[in-house]
Amino acid sequence: MTHISELVQEVTRQARRYPRCSREQALVYACEDVAARHAPLRVLGRTEAVEFVAHVCTEEWVDVPHLEFGRHRTRCTGWADRSTHTIGIHTSRPGVGLLLHEISHLVSRADNHDAEFRLVLLRLARRHAGIQHAGLLRSLFAGSGLDTDPVHPL
């Protein structure tokens, strides 16, 4: 079994793959990448993704967003636009983690990947991806210095 400190080191290395992002954003993406490798989540087809988003949003009392699927020449695999209540998916088989990430943008009202966003993401991950994945993600956030308490920051 890998010790959490080794995974946090992996996060630090992985964050370098996001040079155009803020440090906070790069670390969030890196934590999600490492968590997905060590506590994998399902990959869904288009129909399953639409159903999954509808299920999560209904359970969370959130209006179901419009989903746009398409290929774009960018490293970005997804985006969320609160003004149109739309989630864009740029991969043919989105993972549960990607969908929860984008739903978190709509729910948290955060324009970035701040503590409020991370708290919403963890709550959604716990309810819709499982405790193993959510617990690992939380530990990676904490080990990387990313707070998940918008009221009482680290």
On whether the CB atoms of residues 131 and 85 are closer than 8 A, the answer is no
Compute the distance between CA of residue 9 and CA of residue 62 in angstroms, rounded to an integer. 36
pLDDT band, residue 118 (cuts 50/70/90): very high
For the chain, give every domain's residue range: 4-143
Kindly report, residue by residue over 61-81, the tens digit of the pLDDT: 999 999 999 866 556 778 888
For residue 103, give the nearest of 78, 138, 136 by alpha carbon.
78
pTM of the model: 0.91
What was the pLDDT predicted at 60? 94
Indicate the SS3 state at residue 106.
helix
Angle in degrees, CA 148, 128, 74, rounded to 5? 75
pLDDT band, residue 148 (cuts 50/70/90): confident
**Which DSSP helix (H) or strand (E) runs through 25?**
helix 23-38
CATH fold of 4-143, please? Zincin-like (3.30.2010)
Which phi and psi (to 5°) does residue 68 adopt?
A: -115, 125
What was the pLDDT predicted at 103? 96
β-partners of residue 78 are 89
